[in-house]
Amino acid sequence: MPKPPAFQTIRANGVNLRCVVEGDGPLVLMIHGWPESWYSWRHQIGPVRDAGYRVVVPDVRGYGGSDAPNAVEAYDMESMVGDVLGLIDHFGENQAILFGHDWGAPIVWSTAALHPGRVRAVAALSVPYSPRGKISSIALWRQIYAGRFFYQIYFQEPGPAEAEFEADIRTALRKIYFSGSGDAPKSLFRPDKSPDARMLDDLPDPSVLPKWLTEQDLDYYVSQFERSGFRGPLNRYRNQERDWERLTGLGGARITRPACFIAGSRDGVLRFVPNVDLVENMKRWVDDLRVCEIIDGAGHWIQQERSERVTALLLAFLATLRQE
């Protein structure tokens, strides 16, 4: 595990966000997903900084060293987008380049769709863009996965998932990271089990961690969730109906800014909706998709599992912006 960087605590959108801030140049924000931290971008920070950018990587609200409001609605998409805009404002910029992974991807997609003037370009990992649907995403999951376990449905009731994960944070994270990776025999996201099951039931628990995740890496993640707990991170999932009701501006919204999409071929997120190619659907709504790659054999934690390839793709994407 590399030595933790010097952090800055930045007040943005009414909350304190602990951020890694490195370099000078055009502003690049890297937004992580669940259940992670700024640390999930550890392999990309240095190369992007060295390419001539100011890199800012927050712990998303609810995580690590950032504020963790208790209210469920404090984690709605409006708040998350507001945090991104607040960081851009803090650095005195009109625009930023946004990178996002997992929940970070919908956050940066939504920022680009709702506030295109504040976004120079957007790169999303693992979660393709789609505009607001006819029903909320949680309502869709309840239709698709009726009578079966689906983790986002399990997360809706405050309490049970927090208790399950916080009973043994190390085991929970080890199972989740391994089961979501390209190394696992069974997908984290679409397990074949009863709707009354718990998240960790029947997930494989590796005796040896995959090469991309060291024991020291896991130590760091565990320390961050010992600090923050899981309530804030899980509250993001509990806002899907609220987001649908409030963000009507995402209906039919196109991504007009230069864009990049990277995912792993073994990422179960790409198969959430049966018989729908979510990547091809994304292409209908993204006007300037400059980089799009599905990395063979990789899973969900793409910028960690295939760090060198993802970094190279992101730098190539950034290079297209400098040619303009």
Q: How far from 246 is each of 73, 103, 115, 281, CA to CA, in Å?
A: 12, 18, 15, 23
As a dihedral over the C-alpha atoms of residue 109, residue 115, residue 120, residue 124, rounded to 10 degrees, the angle is -10
Residue 127 CB burial class (10 angstroms; 0-12, 13-18, ≥19): buried
Active-site annotation holds for 300:
yes
Task: Give the C-alpha separation, 248 to 252, whole Å.
Answer: 9
Q: What is the CB neighbour count within 10 angstroms for residue 82?
A: 18
First and final CA of the chain: distance in angstroms?
37
Peptide bond connecting 35 to the previous residue in cis, omega within 30 degrees of 0: yes
What secondary structure, in 3-state letters, does 172-232 show? HHHHHHHHCCCCCCCCCCCCCCCCCCCCCCCCCCCCCCCCCCCHHHHHHHHHHHHHHCCHH
Burial string for 271-299 (b: 16+ CB within 10 Å, else e) reads ebeeeeebeeebeebbeebbbbbebeebb
Q: How far from 242 is each of 31, 75, 234, 238, CA to CA, in Å?
A: 21, 10, 15, 8
Task: Give the C-alpha separation, 4 to 217, whole Å.
Answer: 11
Q: Which of 20, 89, 82, 84 is nearest to 53 (CA)?
A: 20
Of 59, 76, 83, 102, which residue is the catalytic one? 102
Active-site annotation holds for 76:
no
Query: Any idea how long the chain is?
Result: 324
Active site residues: 102, 300
